[in-house]
Structure 1
Amino acid sequence: MADQLYLSLWYANFRFPQLPGALDRVLQQFAALGGTDKVKAATVYPLSWNESPIYQWVHSDKDPEENAEPAQAIARAMEALHEDYAYEFEVEWELWTPSEEGGEEPGWKLEPRVVRVTGFGPQFDEGSFDQNGQIRIDLGTDTPFLQEEVALSAESAAYVKKNVQKLVDLTTLMQKNAGAATRLLWSESGENLAQKLIARLQQLN
């Protein structure tokens, strides 16, 4: 069963007014990984996840003049900083995905996948940022990095390894370029993701 995958980031000596700048640097890293740093959507949640959003913005492909640069999207959503708000931004990166076209042996193609980057106010959801990080990246399910339902040949295995390498590169960039002091890659189920990745890659060798 697919498991939801997250990357949590903590910053040394972090102050809440630094959150917009930190989010900007995080969003910029996806362009370096073959994706885009253009923000597709932004949502602001007050108090907790149980509350309805107080702000939502979705980029329109019909309006190419609409500015989706991270700095502008962040400025709009975070015009007023509230310590009990969470600020979520959607971007995309591309991962290799098996295609059913072409017979028994799966073909592979790069497909965009939505990533949600959320910055937490220190009082949002009773201070859950202690566990989630000042910034949490929701990477979607772990399927692209494991492909447990796919019988892989040596050629196909190379594409899974490319996805795993991109995941490793992402965690590295968050420390090197985005300034995170501590990073934690984790799954919703609590299973040890590193062990699952190692076990799967050993099956592919």
Structure 2
Amino acid sequence: MADQLYLSLWFPNFRVAGLAPALVSVIRQFGRVGGSSRVAAATVYPISRTEAPTYQRIYSENEMEEAIPELAVAAATESLHDDFAYEFDLIWDLWTPEVGGGLDPIWRKEPSRVSVIGFGPEFDDGAYEQNGHIRVDFGIDTPFLHEDVDLDLPAVSRVKENVQLLVDFTNAVQEHCGISSRLLWSESGESLAQKLVERLQRVN
């Protein structure tokens, strides 16, 4: 069953004034691992995620210069509050099988959305304690497991490439973003690493 996958990041001696540069630093790491560090969309939530956004912007292809992390983050955090959350959507390409007609799946790289969310210390009653000062939402874990596809050796290499992107990004954040701790976790609490090991043991 598909599971939501997250990476929570905590920073030492964190203050809301440091949120914008921390967000820029994390977003920049997507460019290091072959993804795009250009922001696709930005949204600002007050108080909690159930509240209507106070700021939303979707960047078109004609706004690529304004979509660089420094400018996109600066625009969204112009009004910086302890009880706001700042969300930035990015795109990276992951191997995805196209299945149909009873034939072997054709694997193609398809764009996949990732969200980087910075939490003010008072947002949602201090949700950062559990979620991290910054949380990266990778979406469902399907691209890293593809449990609905029969894996042969070529398919395994595609899944491993997707997993390697995840590992490389996490390592880049560890090395370049000055975090104090990190946690890769899923909505169900199951370990992605354990699920991957079990998945690869069933290779055809």
State if a TM-score over 0.5 links the two structures.
yes
Residues 59, 68 of structure 1: 8 Å contact kept:
yes
Structure 1 partner of 2:30: 30
Structure 1 partner of 2:172: 173
Structure 1 partner of 2:46: 46
In the alignment, the residues of structure 1 paired with residue 122 and residue 201 of structure 2 have an alpha-carbon distance, to the nearest angstrom, of 43
In the alignment, the residues of structure 2 paired with residue 125 and residue 164 of structure 1 have an alpha-carbon distance, to the nearest angstrom, of 31
For residues 32-181 of structure 1, the aligned pairs below 5 Å read 32-61=32-61, 63-64=62-63, 67-100=66-99, 104-181=103-180
The one-letter amino acid paired with 1:14 is F
Residues 101, 107 of structure 1: 8 Å contact kept:
no
Using the TM superposition, give the Cα deviation of residue 181 of structure 1 relative to its aligned residue in structure 2, in angstroms: 2.0
What are the superposed Cα offsets for residues 125-164 of structure 1, whole Å, 9 maximum, x if unpaired? 0001000000000001000001000001111111111111
Structure 1: give runs of 5+ residues left out of the alignment: none
Structure 1 partner of 2:15: 15
Q: Structure 1: which 4+ aligned runs deviate by more than 4 Å?
A: none
The one-letter amino acid paired with 1:6 is Y
Using the TM superposition, give the Cα deviation of residue 192 of structure 1 relative to its aligned residue in structure 2, in angstroms: 2.3
Using the TM superposition, give the Cα deviation of residue 103 of structure 1 relative to its aligned residue in structure 2, in angstroms: 5.5
In the alignment, the residues of structure 2 paired with residue 189 and residue 116 of structure 1 have an alpha-carbon distance, to the nearest angstrom, of 19
Give SS of 2:28's match: helix
Give SS of 1:156's match: helix
The one-letter amino acid paired with 1:157 is V
Using the TM superposition, give the Cα deviation of residue 194 of structure 1 relative to its aligned residue in structure 2, in angstroms: 2.2
Residues 10, 133 of structure 2: 8 Å contact kept:
yes
1:187 matched to 2:186: yes
In the alignment, the residues of structure 1 paired with residue 97 and residue 9 of structure 2 have an alpha-carbon distance, to the nearest angstrom, of 30
Give SS of 2:149's match: coil
The one-letter amino acid paired with 2:14 is F
In the alignment, the residues of structure 2 paired with residue 46 and residue 59 of structure 1 have an alpha-carbon distance, to the nearest angstrom, of 21
The sequence identity of aligned pairs, in percent, is 55
TM-score normalised by L of structure 1: 0.94
Using the TM superposition, give the Cα deviation of residue 196 of structure 1 relative to its aligned residue in structure 2, in angstroms: 1.0
In the alignment, the residues of structure 1 paired with residue 200 and residue 178 of structure 2 have an alpha-carbon distance, to the nearest angstrom, of 30
Residues 11, 178 of structure 2: 8 Å contact kept:
yes
- Label 1:44 to 1:200 Cα distance change in 2 as closer, same or farther (>3 A): same
Q: Number of aligned pairs?
A: 204
Residues 33, 93 of structure 1: 8 Å contact kept:
no
Residues 24, 73 of structure 2: 8 Å contact kept:
yes
